[in-house]
Structure 1
Amino acid sequence: MAGDTEAFKELNAEQRNKNIILVGMMATGKSTVGAILAEELGYELVDLDHVIIETEGRSIAEIFAEDGEEYFRSVETAVLKRMLESENKLISTGGGAVLAPGNTALMLSKGHVIALTATEEEIIARVSGDQNRPLLAGNAVERVRRIMEDRHNAYLFAHYTVDTTGLTAAEVSQNILMHYRG
């Protein structure tokens, strides 16, 4: 497990009482770990993709097919801003939420950002056969590799990073809680 533990420990009480925002590639465990953390901390769980689906009244695959990725990213940014207007939320973002200009600064200003990572092999194993990921249409292995390459540095802004490869969601959650609580 990697992370900038010193930076994590230097969070003051005000920062710790805002929000926790999980970022990272698809299939790194953001939704599953987020649910465990939200329950443990008594925070409201917000799965950003689910809020987008509710807001738009259609699936993410439909949004991509009908309006494209650029439109999806604009909706994603608007929903993220709305969700970060209040505190004590555990927000699980989509893997590309960090791509829109300004989203990373917004996340850093409104909460504590934790990046979840996993190896390429682990991600491919987790997403194999998943038809609900529009960015993986076609050759999923090649698409995962390209997305990981494109986003190699996209999550480095996070306060803390946990490699979820080979770990259970409970183990990842305990790691995060241990550091979050100091």
Structure 2
Amino acid sequence: MEAILIGFMGSGKTTIGRLLAQQLETTHADLDELIVKRAGQPITAIFAQQGEAQFRTLEQATLQAALKRPGILSTGGGTATVAANVQTLKASSTPVIWLAASDDTILARVASDTGRPLVNSLDTQALFDLKRSRATSYAQAADLVVNTDDRTPNQICQEITTWLTQPAQVLAQG
């Protein structure tokens, strides 16, 4: 992996991951898509039939397998909230980038998305509370935080690419 993208649902992980992979001429993998392929059913079905705990177990195994592949990895919104996943991410030599976005930005991006189990089950305040509760986990896992509010995907990718291509000693100081 060249970079791992984490962040709350709607922060832009998949969009940025695909574009970043294209710009860096590498592959892109979406952890949620890998989970669906591995499970043979949609995430909404996994949540409904097996519950979140089983989904997280499947997610952890899929994450470990994905980290062995080249390219850019977009994780799910809850991936970095599981302690074992944070340890896996931190143990990896791949930079972890937190795509952060404001409550308003998240709401605008996910409000009408019926494919997100947590969006479907939470009201707006509960969604924002969940986002805030995950911030500490994202911060623990991240090597870089990039705000995605009011920025184009190209602007976000430019910031990430610039950071990724800096010499190692500058990254360690930055």
TM-score by length of structure 1 reads 0.86
1:99 corresponds in structure 2 to: 81
Alignment of 1:13-92 (within 5 A): 18-86=1-69, 88-92=70-74
Q: Secondary structure, in 3 states, of the residue corresponding to 2:137?
A: coil
Q: Secondary structure, in 3 states, of the residue corresponding to 2:28?
A: strand
Confirm or deny: 8 A CA contact 1:136 1:143 kept in the other structure: no
Confirm or deny: 8 A CA contact 2:36 2:43 kept in the other structure: yes
Confirm or deny: 8 A CA contact 1:135 1:143 kept in the other structure: no
2:169 corresponds in structure 1 to: none
- Is 1:164 the equivalent of 2:148? yes
CA separation in 1, counterparts of 2:132 and 2:66? 29
CA separation in 2, counterparts of 1:161 and 1:26? 15
The gaps in structure 1 that reach 5 residues or longer are 1-17
1:121 aligns with one of 90, 104, 118: 104
1:133 corresponds in structure 2 to: 116
CA separation in 1, counterparts of 2:122 and 2:86? 29
CA separation in 2, counterparts of 1:98 and 1:150? 12
- The superposition leaves residues 51-109 of structure 1 with CA deviations (integer Å, 9 ceiling, x where unpaired) of 101111111111000000000000000000011124x3200000100122221121122
Q: RMSD across aligned C-alpha pairs, in angstroms?
A: 1.3
Paired AA for residue 122 in structure 1? T
Paired AA for residue 147 in structure 1? L
Q: Secondary structure, in 3 states, of the residue corresponding to 1:152?
A: helix
TM-score by length of structure 2 reads 0.89
Superposition deviation, residue 139 in structure 1 = 4.3
Higher helix share: 2
Paired AA for residue 46 in structure 2? I
Superposition deviation, residue 137 in structure 1 = 1.9
Confirm or deny: 8 A CA contact 1:33 1:173 kept in the other structure: yes
Counterparts in 2 of 1:138 and 1:99: CA distance versus 1, 3 Å: closer
Paired AA for residue 106 in structure 1? T
Aligned residues: 164
More relative contact order in 1 or in 2 (CA 8 Å, sep 6+)? Answer: 1
Q: Secondary structure, in 3 states, of the residue corresponding to 1:155?
A: helix
- Is 1:109 the equivalent of 2:91? yes
Superposition deviation, residue 177 in structure 1 = 0.5
Following TM superposition, where does structure 1 have runs of at least 4 consecutive aligned residues deviating by more than 4 angstroms? none
Superposition deviation, residue 140 in structure 1 = 4.0
Identical aligned pairs, as a percentage? 33
Superposition deviation, residue 40 in structure 1 = 1.5
